Amino acid sequence: MSALIELKNVTKTYGDLRALDSINLDIPPGRIVGLVGPNGAGKTTLLRAITGELDYSGEAKVLGREPRSQRADLMLETGVIHDIAVLPSWMKVSELLSYMEGIHPNFKREKAESFLKTTTIPMEKKIKELSKGMKTQLHLAVTLATETKLLILDEPTHGLDILFRKQLYSSVLEDYFDEEKTIFISTHQIEEVEHILSDVIFIDKGKILLYASIEELGKRFTQLTIPSDQADELRDKLKPISEYGILGRRVFLLEDPDQKALVGIGDIQTPSVADIFVALMGGEA
């Protein structure tokens, strides 16, 4: 199955700063991919390159199109939701739906209206009068109603409460996702989305640190909790890539350990994606 997103040595520089440093990715359809990194890691720059918003060196194909030269066609099949709403603030909600009908050949007004009925958004209210949560819901309704093949969520829940964040991702999964589509979620708060991801990409300083499926991560990394008084002896033997203390015990994160050798030493668990990210970034959990 051909990839929805293909990047080969994609690089973006601003003077001496390499915002993207030789990025290589092949992302197939039917995946939910988390793009994870600290602020300034290159997440938004990568998304802007994928959607043809900026120039870059290297090669890129998204939905079979070159993002820069074929951006208009690409965006007919790509939905993008940012943390800051970009909807026309002077329009009423009903006017926005009429506007989308006029400019987007794939827009299904009935689908947008059906989604909006599950919200408290008034159809005759101006967009500038809506709360941030309502603006995000409206943006999502419009995007889901365009039947795109690629959905990019760029920190869409930033500043919103936990209930709304859960509702948003539930709506995306129920109303959008299938095996022919791909969702690309950019976030620095991996804990709130790791349960829905099929794959994860760690990025920092413009470089890809890791690209793997959640299943692969579970096989590759192991978390071992041991008594603190055994830490010095086992540290030399097991060589954890990171560790931290909790309630008088030490927690080791191990990469590709001999699983049989761990039996009886301590409590063995699969680490969270967040723990793995912190370890690879060189910090402590």
Which residues, in sequence order, are CB contacts of 82 under 8 Å at separation 6+?
Answer: 154, 155, 156
Q: For residue 212, what are the β-bridge partners?
A: 200
Q: How many angstroms separate the CA atoms of 176 and 96, rounded? A: 20
In a domain, 37, yes or no: yes
How many domains in the chain?
A: 2
**One domain for residues 64 and 10:** yes
Residue found by looking up tokens 């099929």 in the block:
198
In a domain, 46, yes or no: yes
The token pair that represents 261 in the structure block: 């050798």
Mapped to the 3 state alphabet, what secondary structure does 207-234 carry?
A: EEEEEEEHHHHHHHEEEEEEEHHHHHHH
pLDDT at 133: 83
pLDDT at 154: 87
**One domain for residues 9 and 124:** yes
**One domain for residues 106 and 52:** yes
**One domain for residues 189 and 76:** yes
Which residues, in sequence order, are CB contacts of 5 under 8 Å at separation 6+?
Answer: 25, 26, 27, 50, 61, 62, 150, 182, 184
**One domain for residues 181 and 221:** no
Q: How many angstroms separate the CA atoms of 134 and 176, rounded? A: 19
pLDDT tens for the 285 residues of the chain, in order: 478 999 999 999 999 999 999 999 999 999 999 999 988 899 999 999 999 999 999 999 999 999 999 999 999 899 888 766 678 889 999 999 999 999 888 899 999 998 898 888 999 999 999 988 888 888 888 888 887 899 998 887 776 777 777 777 887 887 778 888 899 999 877 888 888 899 999 999 999 999 999 999 999 999 999 999 999 989 989 999 999 998 889 999 999 999 988 998 999 999 999 999 988 887 544
pLDDT at 192: 80
**One domain for residues 153 and 91:** yes
pLDDT at 85: 63
Among the candidates 205, 232, 257, a domain finishes at 205
pLDDT at 14: 92
pLDDT at 189: 77
In a domain, 232, yes or no: yes
The DSSP-derived string for 7-41 is EEEEEEEETTEEEEEEEEEEE-SS-EEEEE--TTS
**One domain for residues 221 and 197:** no
Interhelix angle 132-144/93-103, nearest 10 degrees: 30
In a domain, 210, yes or no: no
Note down the domain range covering 233: 217-280
CATH number of 52's domain: 3.40.50.300
Which residue intervals of 85-179 are DSSP H helices?
93-103, 109-116, 132-144, 162-175
**One domain for residues 119 and 89:** yes
